[in-house]
Structure 1
Amino acid sequence: MMGPVLAACLLIILSTAWISQANEALCKKDGGVCSCNNNKNSVDCSNKKLTAMPINIPVDTDRLVLQGNKLSSLPNMAFHNLSKLTYLSLGENQLQTLPAGVFDELKNLETLWIQQNQLQTLPVGVFDHLVNLDKLYLTSNDLKSLPPRVFDNLAKLTRLELGSNQLKRIPEEAFDSLEKLKMLQLQENPWDCTCNGIIYMAKWLKKKADEGLGGVDTAGCEKGGKAVLEITEKDAASDCVSPNTTTAIPIGTMTPASVIYDDIHEIKVPQENFQKFLGYQEPDHLPTQPQCLMSISGYLGLMMSLMLTSAAILYVFHFLKKA
């Protein structure tokens, strides 16, 4: 009879062998998922039609390319075992969001590509741990806004690309920590130069233009044809309300509930319009009695299977405990 200690040891050996085989399968050049260069600790998983991240990437990988796949989301711990990465490419996927903390372990990362995805927002602090990041590419997404002080910890950043998004303005002080920046791309965004929320960006770009920063003239106003750095406080005099801001209803204009209730009784909605509004459709046929009984019996069968499985598991645990 196999003792518990021997069983545990066998399980560990089998798990180690499986992981070794999985890593080998990942890096095979003759049919594996990715191409690997072990001498350079490089893993290339580009253009493989992947819908999920490979889970067996070697922990000593320095360069990881996942470009040109069908990734629509990432686990929040996707890169937590890859702390040696200096280069990561996630471009040309279908990412709609980035989970908070997804890059927290990548303190050695120098280049990050996230261009040509479908990102609309970024989590607060998503880049805070990328203290060695040198280049960040966010071009061709659907970013409508940026979190406050999103670039604060990127003191070594020399290149930032935000072109071809849906940005109308930049949060106050968003660029203040980017002292090492040498190239900034901001083209093809609908920069709103009629609201005073653009003044911070205009003044910052004007200052950096005098210091020789490249790309400061790539931000053009959506209306008027001016560059953002040419905008003055007189041009952007309006105190615009953000689209996400909700305005409370003035108390004086609220209608008593009794009046609303009385009005509802006077509204006559045709039955077919009401059904259309609710998305109701007349079923082709109703389930028959035998069909209902079959559904119930199937459900009971499933419950019985679960009960038997649970009992078997409890029996095994009891047997191991006695052993």
Structure 2
Amino acid sequence: MMGPVLAACLLIILSTAWISQANEALCKKDGGVCSCNNNKNSVDCSSKRLTAIPSNIPTDTENLKLGRNKLSSLSAKAFHSLSSLTYLSLFNNKLKSLPEGVFDQLVNLTDLRLYQNQLTSLPSGIFDKLTKLTDLRLSENKLQSLPHGVFDKLTELKTLYLFNNQLKSVPEGAFNSLEKLALLQLQSNPWDCSCKDILYLRDWIDDNKDKVTGAQDAACGDQQSKAVLEITEKDAASDCVSPNTTTAIPIGTMTPASVIYDDIHEIKVPQENFQKFLGYQEPDHLPTQPQCLMSISGYLGLMMSLMLTSAAILYVIHFLKKA
């Protein structure tokens, strides 16, 4: 009877090794893409020249660092299996936009860092599920406007960075729900102080001077010597122009063929099957060489573990038949 017991123990050991192998494919200390601290449920994939997010990040990860990479886009489901995250950094990448719902499963997130990207706008409701968020950093992007109500659900927010963008105004009531806000940075934006919309921002800053770092530094785009805080109703008498307003192209205007040709950078070749084999989520990007080596070694390791597990199962069946 000891044979089946030993075989069962072997099966458990191999199963554990199989799971460990899957994690090592991401976090192997020697030659792996990311570094992991299992005691703190932390995964550090920063500064790895990544063009895609690894798909095998452990689901119990709480701290995920993806800053200083080459991420230019995200899948809408990039973080849907990581509901335990409390900290997520994506700063210093090449993100130009965020897909709707990309953060919807991160209900425990408290710290989100998106600064130093190329974001020009934000989808409506992008932060609505992040009700525990306390720190949001959107500085050093190219944001031209903010959606109405974009911060309405962030009632726990304490820190908000919006400096160094292309904002000319904020929507009426943009900060009204942020009752716990302690620090807001607004400087280095071309605030349009001739537009009526600026009056909400002026009044909010006036009522919350202790929360705005360098309130006087939030200056008008065309009058750098004048702060938003000093604007009068007479100054802001003009109707506002939406940053999304476009100018109609005159009929008969032809675009030279050479310009059209120059705008065609490359033709994307579908890589879905290749990406699935490598274990990466982003179909628009090929992984870097270290990612390929990591994924292939992880794949071979998993296959070996599967073969050993199958052998252990057959061993158990053999002893059961003899018993």
Q: What is the TM-score of this pair, normalised by structure 2?
A: 0.70
Residue of structure 2 in register with 1:278 after alignment: 257
**Where does residue 194 of structure 1 map in the other structure?**
194
Counting only pairs closer than 5 Å after superposition, residues 1-323 of structure 1 correspond to structure 2 as: 21-209=21-209, 212-215=210-213, 216-224=215-223, 225-245=225-245, 277-279=256-258
- Can you give the 5+ residue segments of structure 1 that lack an aligned partner in the other structure? 1-13, 249-259, 265-273, 282-323
In 2 relative to 1, CA 218–130 (structure 1 residues): closer, same or farther, beyond 3 Å?
Answer: farther
Highest relative contact order (Cα 8 Å, sep 6+), 1 or 2?
2
SS in 2 for 1:217: helix
Structure 1 outlier segments of 4+, above 2 Å: 14-22, 240-248, 276-281
C-alpha contact 1:187 1:219 (8 A) present in aligned 2: yes
Partner of 1:9: none
Shift of 1:234: 1.2
Cα contact 1:185–1:218 (8 A) shared by 2: no
Give the conservation status (yes or no) of the 8 Å contact 1:29–1:35. yes
Amino acid at match of 1:107: V
8 Å CA contact retained: 2:155, 2:180: yes
Other-structure match for 1:298: none
Structure number with greater Rg is: 1
Q: CA RMSD in A?
A: 2.6
Instruction: Render the CA deviation track for 1:28-52: whole Å, top value 9, x for unaligned.
Output: 1111110000000000000000000
Deviation at 1:246, TM superposition (A): 6.1
Gaps of 5+ in 2: 1-13, 261-323
- Number of aligned residues: 243
Percentage identity across aligned positions? 62
> Deviation per CA, 1:57-109, whole angstroms, max 9, x where unpaired?
00010100000000000110111111111100000000011000000011111
SS of equivalent to 2:64: strand
Give the distance between the partners of 1:234 and 1:178, measured in 2 at CA: 29
Residue pair 1:97, 1:119 contacting (<8 A) in 2 also: yes
Deviates more, 1:92-101 or 1:14-23: 14-23
Deviation at 1:185, TM superposition (A): 0.5
Secondary structure of the equivalent of 1:22?
A: helix
Q: Verify the 8 A CA contact 2:205 2:212 in the aligned structure 1.
A: no
Tell me if structure 1 keeps the 8 A contact 2:144–2:243: no
**Amino acid paired to 1:166:** Q
Q: Greater CA deviation, 213-222 or 172-181?
A: 213-222
